[in-house]
Amino acid sequence: MFDTLPEIDRSGPKVHLHIGDRSLDTGSAGVHRRVNPSTGEVDGEIPLAGATEIDEAVRAAHAAYPAWRRTPGPERRRLLLKLADLLEANGPEFGRRTTIDMGMNYVPHLGMLGEWPRYYAGWADKIVSDVTGLGASGGEFSYTIAEPYGVIGVIITWNGPVGSMCMKLPPALAAGNTVVVKPPELAPYGPELFAELVKEAGFPPGVINIVPGGREAGEALVTHPLVQKISFTGGPATAKAILRSTAETMKPTLLELGGKSANLIFEDADLDSACTHAAVMSVGFLAGQGCAFPTRMLVQDTIYEDVVQRIEKIVSGFVVGDPFDPRTTTGPVVNQAAVDRILGFIEGAKRDGARLVIGGKRAGGELAQGCFIEPTVFADVDPDSELAQGEVFGPVLSIIKFSTEDEAIEIANGTPYALAAYIRTSDVTRAHRVAEQLVAGTISINGASNLAADKPFGGFNLSGTGKEGGKAGLDEFLRIKSVGVGMGTGAFGGY
């Protein structure tokens, strides 16, 4: 399959540590021999930042902060808009690098590239104070100041690193913060281009620092005393370690974590649309490696077998293969560790008595050297089983039967995750009633998008805290200061 396509540049570019106005070829934590998930071959040696480089990056951001904070909002807006233009102009190259980075099917335009920077550019000159007291007892006047934190530590994961940077950096920068970003060593090529375009856009040195690294770099960033807030996307285990560290200094932390999103299919749903979406977004696109993907399909009993058959038919037509091939539906998972974990879930589901509808194995033949797993669907899944409760993060869909609306809600809310949920029904009243009762940060009804720059995105419980997107996403990077001014000679009323 790989040899039948037109010549494609599958090589990864040289990766650097971008600190202030410097681009370093090496880091004190050594190198990561990165393996391409499609081929199983090493395609680059990635320099890894250690505690030394993280300290340098944080100090560069700290030095740049006073001037950046005082930069007028219209100028911050101009720079963000310039960055948006450059990101969009380089869409095909971002698409190529993203496919190499994480095995996502190649697309020449990634919609998030310009959308999020443009949205938050519009907020840069609209951050205002509120008057909270006027003519109060004793002649006091009071107001608030919404101010940036300072240096923000940003840690992103491998499944969409450029998209994650577009979600996190623009609101932080629009608010007047400076940032130190730690991209993952597994997916460094898109962030490298992002760093180059930051410089081309004209951001002052030190405002944005991008330093790939592993655990040492992450720990150094989280615990650095000059970092005022952490914004993290990744798994709950790492998030818990971050919280234990930040608890020592009460450092605020924004966490966008995992999910086990329920997809409720009621008997009056448009099944053509519902089943196609469910199949593509659970075992097709990105090989199921998405935190908000609808990986638990809850189907009403009156249509259950019909839906199972529809899903089987759709998935049987999926093509597993080279993500650069336009015929491919399902590409590779990120690495061998992911393969082992996903196959473990599959074998566990078989032992638990779930019905294997399709798939269930690692892809062989010419794909055997890569990290490819067949799109896999299980029916008759126990809602309390490991497959229904755990985040597989791979091309595996669970189908669960329910009878009543109340039962569907109980099953949907029956995991520790609460990131997203999906509802399919033609009854608008029921849709709103169910949405109100679901425990999830984002609800999508009848195919509505759950990820856009003007919508708050983020979960509850084990899925994290805080929001990205919308005005709420900007507020995450501002802290409120209250100021009171005595206007008369009344008695002292403070503490």
Q: φ and ψ at 189, to 5 degrees?
A: -75, -40
User: In this structure, are residues 77 and 93 in contact, taking their beta carbons and an 8 Å threshold?
Assistant: no
What pLDDT digit, counting tens, does each position of 435-457 carry? 999 999 999 999 999 899 999 99
Lowest mean pLDDT of 55-64, 135-144, 429-438, name the range. Answer: 135-144
| Shared-domain flag, residues 139 and 160 | yes
Strands 396-402 and 296-300, sheet pairing: parallel
Task: Measure the CA–CA gap between 258 and 245, rounded to whole angstroms.
Answer: 20
Helices 73-89 and 161-174, axial angle in degrees (round to 10) = 160
Q: How many CB atoms lie within 10 A of CB 14?
A: 12
| Shared-domain flag, residues 268 and 364 | yes
Task: Measure the CA–CA gap between 287 and 284, rounded to whole angstroms.
Answer: 5
Strands 42-47 and 131-136, sheet pairing: unpaired
Closest CA to 449 of 409, 420, 473, 485: 420
User: In this structure, are residues 469 and 453 in contact, taking their beta carbons and an 8 Å threshold?
Assistant: yes
Helix (H, G, I), strand (E, B) or coil at 110: coil
**What contacts 199, CB < 8 A, 6 or more positions away?**
18
| Shared-domain flag, residues 24 and 154 | yes
User: In this structure, are residues 327 and 350 in contact, taking their beta carbons and an 8 Å threshold?
Assistant: no
| Shared-domain flag, residues 471 and 357 | no
| Shared-domain flag, residues 46 and 71 | yes
Residue 59 pLDDT more than 70?
yes
**What contacts 495, CB < 8 A, 6 or more positions away?**
none
Residue 494 included in any domain: no
Residue 130 pLDDT more than 60?
yes
Which range marks the domain in which residue 417 is found? 262-445
**What contacts 188, CB < 8 A, 6 or more positions away?**
12, 15, 34, 44, 46, 101, 161, 212
User: In this structure, are residues 380 and 355 in contact, taking their beta carbons and an 8 Å threshold?
Assistant: yes
Residue 43 pLDDT more than 60?
yes
Task: Measure the CA–CA gap between 278 and 489, rounded to whole angstroms.
Answer: 68
283: DSSP letter: I
Is the model's pTM score more than 0.75?
A: yes
Residue 494 pLDDT more than 70?
no
Burial status of residue 364 (CB atoms within 10 A of its CB: 0-12, 13-18, 19 or more): exposed
Helix (H, G, I), strand (E, B) or coil at 367: helix
| Shared-domain flag, residues 181 and 83 | yes
Distance from CA of residue 84 to its chain's centroid?
19
Q: How many CB atoms lie within 10 A of CB 274?
A: 27
What pLDDT digit, counting tens, does each position of 23-32 carry? 999 999 999 9
Residue 456 included in any domain: no
Residue 355 included in any domain: yes
| Shared-domain flag, residues 473 and 389 | no
Number of domains in the chain: 2
Q: φ and ψ at 124, to 5 degrees?
A: -60, -35
Instruction: Please list the active-site residues.
Output: 256
Report the pLDDT averaged over residues 149-164: 96
Question: What tokens were used for 430?
Answer: 């029921």
Report the pLDDT averaged over residues 109-133: 91
| Shared-domain flag, residues 96 and 32 | yes
Which pLDDT does position 423 carry in this prediction? 99
Task: Measure the CA–CA gap between 358 and 421, rounded to whole angstroms.
Answer: 24
415: DSSP letter: S
| Shared-domain flag, residues 32 and 75 | yes
Angle in degrees, CA 484, 489, 491, rounded to 5: 80
User: In this structure, are residues 347 and 376 in contact, taking their beta carbons and an 8 Å threshold?
Assistant: no
Task: Measure the CA–CA gap between 113 and 389, rounded to whole angstroms.
Answer: 33
Residue 60 belongs to a domain with what CATH number? Answer: 3.40.605.10
Helix residue ranges per DSSP H, 7-108: 51-70, 73-89, 91-102
Which pLDDT does position 1 carry in this prediction? 56
Residue 295 belongs to a domain with what CATH number? Answer: 3.40.309.10
| Shared-domain flag, residues 93 and 231 | yes
Residue 296 included in any domain: yes
What pLDDT digit, counting tens, does each position of 84-93 carry? 999 999 999 9
Residue 361 included in any domain: yes
Which pLDDT does position 137 carry in this prediction? 60
Residue 488 included in any domain: no
Report the pLDDT averaged over residues 262-281: 98
| Shared-domain flag, residues 253 and 266 | no
270: DSSP letter: -
Strands 42-47 and 417-418, sheet pairing: unpaired
Report the pLDDT averaged over residues 191-211: 98
6: DSSP letter: P
Residue 1 included in any domain: no
| Shared-domain flag, residues 273 and 383 | yes
329: DSSP letter: S
Distance from CA of residue 66 to its chain's centroid?
29
Give me the DSSP letters along 470-481.
Answer: HHHHHHTTEEEE
Q: Which residue's structure tokens are 């335009």?
A: 109
Residue 485 included in any domain: no
